Amino acid sequence: MFDFKKYDQQQKNNFVLRVIVAALFALCCFVLLSLRFWVLQVERYEGLSARADSNRLAVVPIAPRRGEIVDRNGEVLARNYLSYTLEVVPAHAGNIDELFDALTPVVFISASEQRRFRRRMAESGKYASLVLRNNLNETEAAFFSANALRFAGVQLRARWVREYPQGKSAGHVVGYVGRISEADLAMLEERGETGSYRGTDVIGKKGIEKTYETALHGRPGLEELEVTSRGKPVRVLRRVDPTPGSNLVLSLDMGLQRIAEEAFKDLRGALVAIEPATGDVLAFVSQPSFDPNLFIDGIDVESWRLLNESPDHPLINRPVYGTYPIGSTYKPFVALAALELNKRRATDLISDPGYFEFGGQRFRNSGSTAFGTLDMHRALVVSSDTYFYSLGPEIGVNNLHDFMKPFGFGQLTGIDIEGERRGVLPSTEWKRNAYKTREQQRWYAGETISIAVGQGYNAFTLMQLAQATAVLANDGVYMKPHLVRAIKNPRTDEQTLTVASAEHKIPLKKENLQVVKRALAEVTVSGTAAGAFSGAQYTTAGKTGTAQIYSLRGANYQSSSIDERLRDHSLFMAFAPVSDPKIAIAVIVENAGWGGSVAAPIVRKVFDAWLLRDKKTVPAPVRQTNATVPDTTGSPVTSRVTP
């Protein structure tokens, strides 16, 4: 017989057991859940909180305003203006072709801009914010803002854009900024400065923009934004303002700069004007020049081709990069070396029959002109090659090297612009290092003869000649040449001078300096530069020069029969006023011929502009004629002689 009572008890027991098991299971789940909550809320709180904040918060870098560049009078050479840009994150924008099709009716995107964007996308990847269109006007910006929700991954931003209001004028000095390249990123990473360029897409590429990049750039700021799940900003939680870059005050005078540039007209060449007492570079000309505005957002192919393939090489910074034989502008320094080293007295008389004979070979004056008996003063005034040919063996190449080095010849002057070349100041040691075979390494006495008249192995930058002229005018005091006069704090306007004292002083005897200076003063009165300085209202001292491009091998020089780019260079170095020099200049005009007829008149115009700027009187007109005394600096002889 079935026992209902016993069965009922068993059912109750089973039910209790199930309840207990279920309770234990629920308790275990609750414990596990509690443990998980503990892990998430306590042990992993910081990491998960940061991840949550990263979804809710966005940190946006704020690019600093780049410092401005002005001349000594406050005239602006480089500045910034706010511009709207359209930026795209390819990973968020979807199909790029479809984006362009949809976007073009709203904001016009040219075919070249589309190609440029695709190239940048290939270089930078899909998650970088890339500029699609620059310089949107206010109407375009407003129209896009009204349609912004239609375009995922596309943002309208305001940014600082660089501008060079002077255009080509002083283009090589100012340089330009350009888009940060892979090489730039590698350089910044090596320096540990990558963080300073968050939000910035340009960097100094040439000129002062590159040399003073650290001062001009400033430090970026940031905005901490609260955003939606789709990345749309809701509110600003925190803001750190960027620190603007320092402003630069150049030593240049743009009025003088423009006058110097205009004096070249269509000629090629370079000019550097320096204030001897301070080392301030007052004018720095490289002709032809270029417009740095072309490079700001990437130069177009046609403009780059015209600049890069031009036979006039407008991209070369001639004053610091071009190296030249400087012809007879070297003679004043050779004369000073002879006096200081006691190799010859100023009153010693030397016969000049029109040539100097050495080792069975004759080194001739230009046109074989014979000046008769002359001393050092007259030799400089008429530019007698024979006189200085004879000085070469007496002084010796190594003595010349050691004497010229403190003036800056064959040395880096230290001017604050990138790309300066050292050039060649010859010596026996230099030749041993420059050539491989023993025969080539041998120094011949005849080679010193050519060097003494500024030819031969001599290869100097115009910056070196200008600096040496300033040191001579300043009685041997070497002030480091500089283009940036002061760095100006943008908030306090406090200025810090870049050069405050002399770098060194060459111990020169006053009486020897006076011998050379008196002769150089006579050059502009009755010598090879007399025509250019006729009627000047100030005293000047200078030396003409004509430098050979290649050896004529004994033939007569006829400019009309020689290719224009193989003709002699025209040079002139000078300072004024003689008693208290305020300006020293060196100029070279490429393939232009005699220094007295081409280079010297350019210097006259610059001197008039600088020294007569406070006077109302009109300077006397310059007679563009050759002086009565012929310029003999371009003697048609072999520049390297091997006995």
Dig out the tokens for 597 from the structure: 């007829």
Can you give the pLDDT at residue 575?
97
Same fold, 79-227+237-250 and 254-307+316-611: no
Can you give the pLDDT at residue 556?
46
Average pLDDT over residues 544-567: 60
Listed range (25-34, 400-409, 424-433, 448-457) with the worst mean pLDDT = 25-34
Can you give the pLDDT at residue 624?
35
Task: For residue range 198-212, list pLDDT tens digits in order.
Answer: 878 889 999 999 999
Dig out the tokens for 412 from the structure: 């880096």
Task: Report which of residues 630 and 57 the model is more confident about.
Answer: 57
191: Cβ contacts below 8 Å, ≥ 6 apart: none
Task: Report which of residues 128 and 90 the model is more confident about.
Answer: 90
Listed range (299-308, 471-480, 498-507) with the worst mean pLDDT = 299-308
Residue 215 has pLDDT above 70, yes or no: yes
Q: For the chain, what are the domain ranges?
A: 79-227+237-250, 254-307+316-611
User: Across-strand partners of 270?
Assistant: 286, 588
Query: Considering the entire predicted model, what is its pTM?
Result: 0.81
Average pLDDT over residues 245-263: 96
Can you give the pLDDT at residue 102?
83
Task: For residue range 562-605, list pLDDT tens digits in order.
Answer: 656 677 889 999 999 999 999 999 999 998 776 678 999 999 99
User: Across-strand partners of 362?
Assistant: 357
Q: Is 328 a catalytic residue?
A: yes
Residue 554 has pLDDT above 60, yes or no: no
Residue 21 has pLDDT above 50, yes or no: yes
Dig out the tokens for 9 from the structure: 């008890």
> What is the third-level CATH fold of 254-307+316-611?
Beta-lactamase (3.40.710)
Residue 230 has pLDDT above 60, yes or no: no
Average pLDDT over residues 370-375: 91
Task: Report which of residues 353 and 639 the model is more confident about.
Answer: 353
Model confidence at 433, in pLDDT bands (50, 70, 90)?
very high
Average pLDDT over residues 260-281: 95
Whether residue 373 contacts residue 352, with contact meaning beta carbons closer than 8 Å, is answered with yes
Can you give the pLDDT at residue 546?
87
Q: How far apart are the first and last CA of the chain?
A: 146
Which DSSP symbol is given to 598?
I
Model confidence at 85, in pLDDT bands (50, 70, 90)?
confident
Determine how β-strand 247-250 pairs with β-strand 69-70: parallel
Task: Report which of residues 564 and 192 the model is more confident about.
Answer: 192
Q: What is the mean pLDDT of the chain?
A: 84
Task: For residue range 604-634, list pLDDT tens digits in order.
Answer: 999 999 999 876 444 443 333 333 333 433 3
Burial class (CB in 10 A: 0-12, 13-18, 19+), 321: buried
C-alpha–C-alpha distance, residues 297 and 408, integer Å:
38
| Helical ranges in 222-345 per DSSP H | 254-264, 301-308, 318-321, 331-340
79-227+237-250 to CATH, choices 3.90.1310, 3.30.420, 3.30.460, 1.25.40: 3.90.1310
Average pLDDT over residues 144-150: 81
Whether residue 173 contacts residue 252, with contact meaning beta carbons closer than 8 Å, is answered with yes
Task: For residue range 175-184, list pLDDT tens digits in order.
Answer: 999 888 888 8
C-alpha–C-alpha distance, residues 625 and 565, integer Å:
23
From the list 169, 246, 251, 328, the catalytic residue is 328
Listed range (39-48, 94-103, 157-166, 580-589) with the worst mean pLDDT = 39-48
